[in-house]
Amino acid sequence: MNQELGAITLESLEVLKKRIQTELKNVSTSEEAEAFRIKYVGRKGLLSEATKQLKTVTPEDRPQVGQFLNVLKRQVESDLEGKSFVGKKTVEGGVDRTLPGRIRRKGGLHVLTSTMDDVKSILRGLNFEIVDGPEWETEHYNFDALNTPPDHPARDMQASFYMEGGGVLRTHTSPVQIRAMETRKPPLRIASVGKCFRADMLDASHSPAFHQVEGLMVGHDVSMAHLRGVLRLFFESLFDQSVELRFLPSFFPFVEPGAEVSVRCVLCQRQGCAVCKQTTWLELGGAGMVHPRVFRAMGYDEEQWTGFAFGFGIERFAMIRHGIDDLRLFYENDVRFLGQFT
């Protein structure tokens, strides 16, 4: 029987616990900490000895005493852990609390992903269902079904990458509209967000791969006024401020009437800045009323249904929201850039 320990009872252990706690307070160097560890929880330390002598305890008390010992031992070990740097890193008055904290860093989503996530959740808020489609498309879905026949100059508007073995890398997310309409009956509100490709050289505002959001709403009396109403709500959420919307005549083969959509520059408030190129307007993309030929190709009755569609560039949104002036940064994947958006 260990002299220091005496008979093992809950009472004696309680005394021991008090003693340990008092002694621990005085531990302030690593040498002291190590001595303390050996004395109590080392292989031959007091608490280890006590555990070995559990058999001397009456069977009725044994579980309770064993439990107490285990808890106490764990407590001591973790208290010591808390003091493990003590000694090396102390100053007068205790631990050197000017030492830097440990930051655990999480990774981040790519800023294009977080922009797309925002766009999706705003559109969901406007009750649009988010749908998906392939990036390597057939010419049928990318062009023909969208009222862009092979010999039409409109195909030149979107310089396309053609693939060996057939098909084309989708030049817009619009084919997803067609795929969605094939499997759904109107009325519907759908949107698609994703990567598109056009044969554009890479510069500060162009890229051969880019991302787009496309929205489509079809109903009995969906009008251009609804299009404007929905876009206002969308942009106000996206840019987190009230916006002034501008539609100008434009042409996209799959809509008629077609419009180019701008909002009053959300950065300079009519002062003119580099982002709006001193025009005070931010061009954001195209929109319009679904062309009757697109409805016809889908087998929708163009007399019964009307609808609107819109398409915008995700990179443009991200550039405006974060003040990024060079599109190449998105694809360079410099972690110093990407890490700013986590």
Partner 1 sequence: MKISWHWIKEFSPDLPFTSVEGMVKSLHECGIGVDTVEERRGDWLLDIEITPNRGDFLSLYGVARQLAALHGTTLLPVSTRPLEEVEETSRHIRVDIEDVEGCPRYACRVIQGVKVGPSPAWLVEKLARVGVHTVNNVVDITNFVMWELGHPLHAFDADRIEGSHLRIRRAGKTERLLPLDGGELLLSPEILVIADAQRPVALAGIMGGKVSSIQNSTQNLVLESAWFHPTVIRKGIAMTGVRSDSSYRFERGTDPDMIPVALDRAAQLISEVSGGKVLRNMVERYPNPDPPRKLSLRYNRITRILGYSISPDEAMGALKRLGYAIGVKTGDQVEVEPPSFRRDVHLEVDLIEDVAQLMGYQHIPEISPAGTFVQVRPGFHERFIESIKKSLTGLGIQETVHFGFIPKDLPGRYPGSNSAWGPCIPLINPLRNDWAVLRSTPFFEMMSTIVFNLHQEAKGVSLFEVGTVFGPNREQKIVCGLGMAGLAAEKTWDHPERSFDLFDLKGTVDHLLETLKLSHHSRWEPIDREPWNPGTALALRVKGVEMAVIGGVTEVQDGHWVWYGQVDLDQMEKVAIIKIPHEVLPKYPAITRDVALTVKRYQRVGELAEVIRDAAGPWLERVTLFDVYEGSPLPADQKNVAFRLVFRSAQDTLRHEQVNQTVEALVAKLEQVCGARLRAERPS
Find the binding residues for partner 1 in span 214-243 (CB under 8 A): 217, 219, 221-226, 228-230, 232-233
Q: One-letter amino acid identity for 303?
A: E
DSSP 213-240: EEEEEEESS--HHHHHHHHHHHHHHHHT
Do residues 215 and 152 lie in contact, with contact meaning Cβ atoms separated by under 8 Å? no
Question: Binding to partner 1 by residue 323, rule CB under 8 A?
Answer: no
Between CA 85 and CA 96 the distance in angstroms is 10
Between CA 242 and CA 251 the distance in angstroms is 27
**Smallest distance from the beta carbon of 337 to partner 1, in angstroms?**
10
Do residues 188 and 150 lie in contact, with contact meaning Cβ atoms separated by under 8 Å? no
Cα dihedral across residues 156, 162, 166, 169: positive or negative? negative
**Binder to partner 1 among 42, 45, 87, 167 (CB under 8 A)?**
167
**Given the complex with partner 1, which of 22 and 107 has the nearer CB atom?**
107
Question: Binding to partner 1 by residue 47, rule CB under 8 A?
Answer: no
Q: Which residues, numbered 61-80, are part of the site for partner 1 (CB under 8 A)?
A: 70
CA count, 13 A, side-chain hemisphere, 108: 16
Q: Which residues, numbered 101-130, are part of the site for partner 1 (CB under 8 A)?
A: 102, 104-110, 112-113, 120, 124, 127-130
**Given the complex with partner 1, which of 15 and 274 has the nearer CB atom?**
274
Between CA 47 and CA 340 the distance in angstroms is 51
**Smallest distance from the beta carbon of 22 to partner 1, in angstroms?**
26
Q: Which residues, numbered 14-33, are part of the site for partner 1 (CB under 8 A)?
A: none
Is 169 in a helix, a strand, or coil? strand
Question: Binding to partner 1 by residue 97, rule CB under 8 A?
Answer: no
Question: Binding to partner 1 by residue 1, rule CB under 8 A?
Answer: no
The two three-digit tokens of residue 214, written as one number = 């496309």
* Number of chain residues interacting with partner 1 (CB under 8 A): 89
Question: Binding to partner 1 by residue 60, rule CB under 8 A?
Answer: no
Question: Binding to partner 1 by residue 134, rule CB under 8 A?
Answer: yes
Q: Which residues, numbered 283-302, are part of the site for partner 1 (CB under 8 A)?
A: 289, 291-292
